[in-house]
Amino acid sequence: MKRILILILILGTHHSFAIPHLDLEMTSDEYRYHLKQLKIAKAMVVDDPSIAFSLQLGDRLSKWINVINQSRTIGTAIRLTSPQTRRAIPIETPNIYSPSIIKAGADKIVAELPEVMRTILTNSGELPSTIGIDDETFIKHARLLDRNYQSAARYKSVNGFRFQYIAAASRDVRGYYYLTKNKIGANELRDVNTIDSEKVQPIKEALAKLCLNASSGSLESCVKKVETAFSQNNLSELYNNYFQAAEQNWNDFFEIPKLSARRDVAWTNQIMTVPFNTPSISKFIPYLQNNIEDEYRFNDWKLKINFGSFMNGPKLVFQAGVVPHVNGLGGNQIVMDSNQPIEEYESQWTIRHEFGHVLGLPDCYHEFYDTKLEAYVNYQLDTSDLMCSRAGNMKERIFNQLKKTYSKAF
């Protein structure tokens, strides 16, 4: 009984922690670092066998690639990521993962592996420096295994915070997205008898999510409210009651909060100047300029970095193996992984994205636990947006948000 009580206290304490900030498109190396930092005692938490199997496969694949690349040149090294292979997570096709989904994926991938890869990856012998097949075939299958590893690593990373992820379902924006994309408003809902029969169920589901965005109730209670409103031909009133709150919930993923707006930014004509502490290592000056100043421009407008010494200005910090991050929206410390070469695409995209947080821009992606599916769900609100996806870039909406926040005196 005493041992059970101790376990409850430990897990209960863990659940009280804030949800960790984890980019939806973290690299496998970033996941490996994060898993090492998990505060759950390994002796107290046993991985689901499906999760453990996918993690083992991914770790062995990573070690094998490292062995292979030791005997190759930089130009011929095996690489699993590139600007061309980044995959976005559209809101219409969210990523859904659970132990059963991860297991099914791993079983299928392993079954389809070339024999030489399957033999080496599913055993524990010495790893060879050659692959025995052509690079293209190896990389094709290795990418699938690596993505499965990432799903397993993410499950292990977030599952200790399931209560918080269940609560995060209230911010699921897909109801608002469906209704606005399909131009369905109060007028279109005024008479349920005129709604296309094929759209009835999607509209009901969207309205239930709209209700959840605006209330403290459960999805089940919102579903009941929608069914009642439908039977009483009163969907338009229900829509009007919840739409404004749901719209604000959507906007919160894009707008710079007032408390996160910087006070040291100068906006003159078509130039936005941001102070930045000069890096002690000179090569990081062009690294910042070439990436940040190249990204943050729109038509005739551009952002300029003002290097110098500032007590409360942004600065660049490197730590070995760290998951890149900024110490809060509007924060001053960009922490990057010193193990990742700044010439790599991942590093170049990350510094551009993280600088957005320095300016107060929030992440525009969402993740939660779906109790009906018994799985985690995540997606990016706009895959073309720099703050939503690694497939995204600077766009007009970011410019407009920066202009709204910084082009007037505080």
* pLDDT on residue 7: 33
Q: Quick check: 45 pLDDT over 70?
A: no
* pLDDT on residue 85: 67
Other Cβ atoms less than 10 A from the Cβ of 79: the count is 15
* pLDDT on residue 9: 33
What's the whole-model pTM score?
0.88
For residue 46, name the pLDDT band (cuts at 50, 70, 90): low
DSSP string, 88-155: --BTTS-EEE-HHHHHHHHHHHHHTS-HHHHHHHTS-SPPPS--SS-HHHHHHHHHHHHHHHHHHHHH
Other Cβ atoms less than 10 A from the Cβ of 186: the count is 13
* pLDDT on residue 41: 41
Both tokens assigned to 14: 């863990």
Domain 258-361 has what CATH class?
Answer: alpha beta
Average pLDDT, the chain: 90
The H or E element spanning position 375 is: strand 375-380
Question: Side chain identity at 101, as an amino acid letter?
Answer: I
Q: What is the pLDDT of residues 294-314, one digit of tens each?
A: 999 999 999 999 999 999 999
DSSP-based three-state secondary structure for 162: helix
Q: What is the pLDDT of residues 72-121, one digit of tens each?
A: 998 898 888 766 667 799 999 999 999 999 999 999 999 999 999 999 99
Q: Quick check: 153 pLDDT over 60?
A: yes
Which of 366, 386, 283, 293 lies closest to 19, judged by CA?
366
Give yes or no for a contact between 328 and 355, defined as CB atoms under 8 angstroms apart: no
Domain boundary assignment for the chain: 2-165, 174-251, 258-361
**Greatest extent of the chain over all pairs of C-alpha atoms, in Å:** 72
* pLDDT on residue 12: 38
Q: What is the pLDDT of residues 248-286, one digit of tens each?
A: 999 999 999 999 999 999 999 899 999 999 999 999 999
Lowest mean pLDDT among 6-20, 82-96, 117-131, 376-390: 6-20
Other Cβ atoms less than 10 A from the Cβ of 389: the count is 27
* pLDDT on residue 34: 83
Task: Measure the CA–CA gap between 94 and 96, rounded to whole angstroms.
Answer: 6
Q: Quick check: 170 pLDDT over 80?
A: yes
Residue scoring higher pLDDT (345 or 394)? 394
Question: Side chain identity at 277, as an amino acid letter?
Answer: N
Both tokens assigned to 251: 């906007």
Pairing of strands 301-308, 271-277: parallel
Q: What is the pLDDT of residues 188-214, one digit of tens each?
A: 999 999 999 999 999 999 999 999 999
* pLDDT on residue 338: 87
Q: What is the pLDDT of residues 330-367, one digit of tens each?
A: 999 999 988 888 887 788 889 999 999 999 999 999 99
The H or E element spanning position 71 is: none
Q: What is the DSSP letter of 289?
A: I
pLDDT (mean) for 33-61: 79
Give yes or no for a contact between 364 and 381, defined as CB atoms under 8 angstroms apart: yes
Give yes or no for a contact between 222 and 230, defined as CB atoms under 8 angstroms apart: no
Residue scoring higher pLDDT (99 or 33)? 99
Give yes or no for a contact between 204 and 227, defined as CB atoms under 8 angstroms apart: yes
Task: Measure the CA–CA gap between 205 and 226, rounded to whole angstroms.
Answer: 8
Structure-derived torsion over alpha carbons of residues 152, 154, 155, 157, reported in degrees to the nearest 10: 120
Cα 86–Cα 87–Cα 92 angle in degrees, nearest 5: 155
Lowest mean pLDDT among 41-45, 167-171, 341-345: 41-45
**Please, which residues bridge with residue 368 across strands?**
377
* pLDDT on residue 180: 98
Q: Quick check: 160 pLDDT over 70?
A: yes
* pLDDT on residue 96: 97
* pLDDT on residue 57: 96
* pLDDT on residue 39: 56
